[in-house]
């Protein structure tokens, strides 16, 4: 995952709109470095409608943004910022008058101090730098306005004075002076390369909900340069009138400059339009009849999926957080998506880039659950069988088979319950469940590797004594705990993981596993994929060598014995896991299902193999003591290792 850029996407694109040839600085982009102490940091925000200006001040532990500069926004609160050993914090304050939006980029994130709104009659713009405040040991240094240096000194405060201007005239001027740029879809892989001009101003439509209110339908108007098919339709239900108790007017605002809402999205993108629906000074939730929002958009390529999302302000009202709670997604073809939402806020379509959703997830989950349950029961039976057999036989391979069976009991049993534990226990429990699940996976892969090594020893080290059984237990059960302990100590590796289904991306499957972060993916490749590659490669080589050793034997001429030998060794050596590397191309769905069946039922196949071989040996009269440790390994390979 790529790290976030040093300057946010909204800042760059809004600067692009306002810095065209012949355009003046109608917005404000004030940046600097806050020199503070090592104490906890606080942000105080106090803004209100007006145009007297805005001031930015800072001291040892407090940054304050105060003034009258907005058209509708009114905010007054004190927030705690993440502290740390650093005594310098870069920041950027951006004021966009056309959208009445005030944002602060600080501490690696963008905080929205004033949400974007529809075009107003008058805007406070052309903010000019006022008189400097005194210098001090703490404050703001290296201050710039639109990348132009003001001073490198450390000042305690900066003041900017504004003046009113007609918003509509300013908006038309911006449209004429801004150069065309590619739509957001072009950035998603070159699927849409049509250059268009996005209108930098929001369009708004309101209606008064009278006593006889029967609902309200509204369609966004088409801006210059935007396809006529790219529009949004909204159906307001009569239930909103009953839910709104203090106000009678509902306002629908259409934003076409969606870059304003992209903060915090690393593997997804908001497409085309964003719609804001509000009733003044009221929070509307849990409507009995949903609001229907129809998004007509460009065709979304098949590998990508979409879902309806809304802007959630419950966790942090100053950050853009897109969630699918309260919205149902209905796809009406590749170019149309309808959202049914039971609350009021900002709405849009979120296209998931990575991780790719899983098609037929319900079927795959059912197969996996059945396979894991059957494998757990089968391996429990195999453990009992091998324990009884170890009392009357001195086979060198029994402790190894027993260790593999125990590891499969732990792996399949825990994986069977991971979905339940994720839904019941939540993120806190998932950290430890995922760590234990990772340990059982590494243990099972290690035991399969031990099977490969032990077979190599029997084939090519006939006259050398095999390592003692306790060494296998150290390698198979203790060694895999090392990487897991290290990853737990590193942190932010294990936790709750969402698996998105193609059919309904708004209802993800929850499980406890490694998180979807760059650090977790690196750990996945360094541990799981590396070990799996070594296992599959060595298992395939050993499978070929064993086949070459036993193909001339009389038993090999019996087809069922030959099949059972190769199939059984494939299960022991983990070569079926090699299908994981073939999940691409036109056969990806077949490979996915085939791999799911083989690996989920691997414990059952192992149990079946051992029982059938034992039945064949007893039927043959126990020839050569079923592979005693003192006999020739080549002579007894079929009995002992096939």
Q: What is the DSSP string of 142-186?
A: EEEETTEEEESS-ESEEEEEEEEEEHHHHHHHHHHHSPPEE-GGG
How far is CA 142 from its chain centroid?
Answer: 36
Q: What is the pLDDT of residue 634?
A: 37
User: Which of the residue ranges 166-180, 322-336, 624-638 would you say has the lowest mean pLDDT?
Assistant: 624-638
Above 50 in pLDDT, residue 202? yes
Looking at the domain that runs over 201-352, which CATH code has it been given?
A: 2.60.220.50
pLDDT at 435: 93
Asked if residue 587 has pLDDT above 90, the reply is no
Distance (Å, rounded) from C-alpha 626 to C-alpha 608? Answer: 18
pLDDT at 197 over 80: no
Going by the DSSP 8-state scheme, the letter that residue 326 receives in this structure is: T
In the structure encoding, which two tokens stand for residue 593, read together?
Answer: 């299902």
Q: What is the largest CA-CA distance in the chain?
A: 103
Residue 375 has phi, psi (to 5 degrees) of -65, -40
Place of tokens 């038309």: 172
CA distance 117 to 14: 15
For the segment 342-365, the average pLDDT, to the nearest whole number, is: 78
> Do the Cβ atoms of 20 and 178 come closer than 8 Å?
yes
Report cis status (omega within 30 of 0) of the bond before 355.
yes
Helices (H), 461-556: 469-473, 481-490, 518-524, 530-550
Dihedral angle computed from the Cα positions of residues 481, 484, 489 and 495, in that order, rounded to the nearest 10 degrees:
-140
Give pLDDT tens digits for 388-432.
Answer: 888 877 777 888 889 989 999 999 999 888 888 888 877 788 899
- Tens digits of per-residue pLDDT, 242-254? 888 776 788 888 8
Q: How confident is the model at residue 63 (pLDDT cuts 50, 70, 90)?
A: very high
Residue 60 DSSP code: S
Contact 427, 503 (CB under 8 A): no
Hey, what's the torsion of the CAs at 54, 57, 62, 64, to 10 degrees? 0
Does the pLDDT at position 340 exceed 90? Answer: yes
Q: What are phi and psi of 609, to 5 degrees?
A: -60, -50
Q: What average pLDDT does range 613-626 have in this prediction? A: 62
In order of 382, 409, 535, 566, 612, the CA distances from 609 in angstroms are: 10, 17, 20, 11, 5
For 268, the token pair is: 């997804």
Query: Which residues are paired to 34 by β-bridges?
Result: 89, 140
Domains of the chain by residue range: 9-174, 201-352, 371-641
In CATH terms, the fold of domain 371-641 is Rhopdopsin 7-helix transmembrane proteins (1.20.1070)
Q: How confident is the model at residue 605 (pLDDT cuts 50, 70, 90)?
A: confident
* Residues 119-155: tens digit of each pLDDT: 677 888 888 888 878 888 899 999 999 888 988 899 9
As a whole number of angstroms, the distance between CA 139 and CA 550 comes to 80
Place of tokens 């529009």: 231
pLDDT for residue 293 is more than 90: yes
> Beta strands 216-219 and 203-208: pairing type?
unpaired
Mean of the pLDDT values across residues 276-299?
86
Locate 209 and state its tokens: 């909900």
The average pLDDT across 208-220 equals 84
Distance in angstroms (rounded) separating the CA atoms of residues 62 and 41:
6
What is the C-alpha separation between 157 and 606, in angstroms, rounded?
A: 73
15-29, 421-435, 469-483, 562-576: which has the minimum mean pLDDT?
A: 15-29
Distance separating alpha carbons of residues 264 and 185, to the nearest angstrom: 18
Over residues 515-542, mean pLDDT = 86
Q: Which stretch of 83-92, 180-189, 545-554 has the lowest confidence by average pLDDT?
A: 180-189
Separation CA 320–CA 260 (nearest Å): 10
pLDDT higher than threshold 90 for residue 457:
no
* 49 DSSP β-pair partners: 70
Q: Are 233 and 294 in contact (CB under 8 A)?
A: yes
Say whether pLDDT at 192 is over 90.
no
DSSP label at 261?
G
Length of the chain measured in residues: 642
d(CA 363, CA 355): 19
pLDDT at 182 over 50: no
Nearest alpha-carbon partner for 405 in 353, 466, 346, 476: 476
CB atoms within 10 A of CB 403: 24
What is the average pLDDT across 608-632?
58
Q: For residue 479, what pLDDT is reported?
A: 92
Torsion angle in degrees (nearest 10) through CA of 558, 564, 566, 568? -160
Tell me the pLDDT of the chain averaged across its residues: 76
């Amino acid at each position: 995952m790529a790290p976030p850029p040093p300057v946010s996407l909204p800042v760059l694109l809004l600067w692009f709109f306002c810095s065209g040839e012949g355009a003046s600085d109608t917005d404000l982009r004030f940046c600097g470095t806050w020199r503070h102490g090592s104490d906890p940091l606080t942000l105080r925000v106090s803004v209100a409608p007006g145009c007297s200006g805005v001031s930015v001040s800072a001291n040892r532990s407090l940054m304050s943004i105060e003034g009258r500069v907005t058209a509708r926004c009114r905010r007054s609160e004190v927030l705690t910022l993440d502290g740390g050993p650093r005594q310098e914090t870069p920041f950027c304050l951006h004021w966009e008058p056309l959208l009445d939006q005030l944002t602060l980029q600080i501490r690696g994130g963008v905080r929205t101090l004033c949400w974007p709104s529809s075009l107003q009659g008058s805007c406070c713009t052309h903010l000019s730098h006022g008189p400097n405040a005194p210098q001090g040991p703490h404050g703001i240094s290296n201050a710039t306005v639109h990348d132009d240096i003001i001073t490198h000194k450390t000042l305690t405060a900066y003041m900017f004075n504004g003046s009113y201007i007609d918003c509509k005239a300013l908006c038309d001027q911006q449209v004429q002076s801004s150069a065309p740029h590619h739509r957001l879809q072009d950035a998603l892989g070159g699927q849409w390369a049509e250059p268009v001009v996005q209108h930098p101003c929001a369009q708004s439509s309101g209606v008064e909900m009278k006593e006889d209110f029967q609902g309200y339908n509204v369609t966004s108007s088409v801006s210059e340069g935007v396809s006529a098919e790219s529009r949004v339709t909204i159906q307001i239900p009569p239930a909103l009138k009953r839910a709104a108790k203090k106000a009678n007017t509902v306002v629908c605002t259409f934003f076409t400059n969606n870059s304003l809402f992209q903060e915090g999205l690393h593997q997804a993108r908001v497409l085309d339009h964003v719609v804001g629906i509000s009733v003044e000074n009221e929070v509307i939730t849990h409507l009995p009849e949903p609001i229907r929002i129809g998004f007509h958009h460009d065709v979304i390529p098949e590998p990508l999926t979409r879902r309806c999302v809304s802007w959630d302000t419950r966790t942090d009202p100053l950050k853009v957080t897109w969630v699918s709670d309260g919205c149902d997604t209905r796809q009406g073809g590749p170019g149309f998506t309808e959202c049914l939402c039971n609350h009021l806020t900002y709405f849009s379509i979120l296209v998931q880039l990575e991780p790719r959703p899983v098609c037929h997830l319900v079927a795959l989950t059912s197969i996996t659950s059945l396979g894991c349950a059957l494998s757990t029961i089968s391996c429990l039976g195999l453990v009992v069988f091998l324990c009884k057999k170890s009392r009357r036989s001195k086979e060198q391979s029994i402790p190894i088979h027993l260790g593999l069976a125990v590891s499969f009991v732990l792996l399949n049993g825990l994986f069977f319950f991971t979905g339940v534990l994720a839904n019941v226990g939540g993120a806190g429990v998932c950290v430890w469940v995922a760590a234990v699940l990772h340990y059982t996976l590494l243990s099972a892969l290690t035991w399969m590797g031990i099977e490969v090594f032990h077979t190599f020893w029997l084939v090519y080290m006939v006259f050398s004594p095999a390592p003692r059984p306790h060494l296998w237990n150290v390698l198979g059960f203790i060694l895999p705990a090392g990487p897991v302990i290290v990853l737990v100590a590193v942190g932010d590796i294990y936790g709750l993981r969402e698996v998105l289904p193609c059919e309904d991306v708004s209802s993800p499957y929850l499980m406890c596993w490694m998180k979807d972060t760059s650090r977790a993916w690196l750990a996945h490749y360094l541990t799981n994929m590396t070990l799996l590659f070594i296992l599959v490669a060595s298992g395939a080589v050993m499978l070929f060598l064993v086949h070459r050793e036993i193909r001339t034997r009389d038993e090999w001429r019996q087809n069922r014995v030959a099949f059972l030998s190769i199939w059984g060794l494939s299960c022991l050596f983990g070569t079926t896991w090699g299908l994981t590397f073939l999940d691409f191309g036109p056969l990806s769905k077949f490979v996915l299902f085939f791999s799911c069946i083989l690996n989920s039922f691997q414990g059952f196949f192992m149990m079946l193999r051992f029982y059938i071989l034992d039945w064949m040996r007893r039927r043959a009269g126990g020839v050569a003591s079923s592979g005693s440790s003192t006999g020739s390994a080549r002579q007894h390979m079929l009995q002992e290792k096939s």
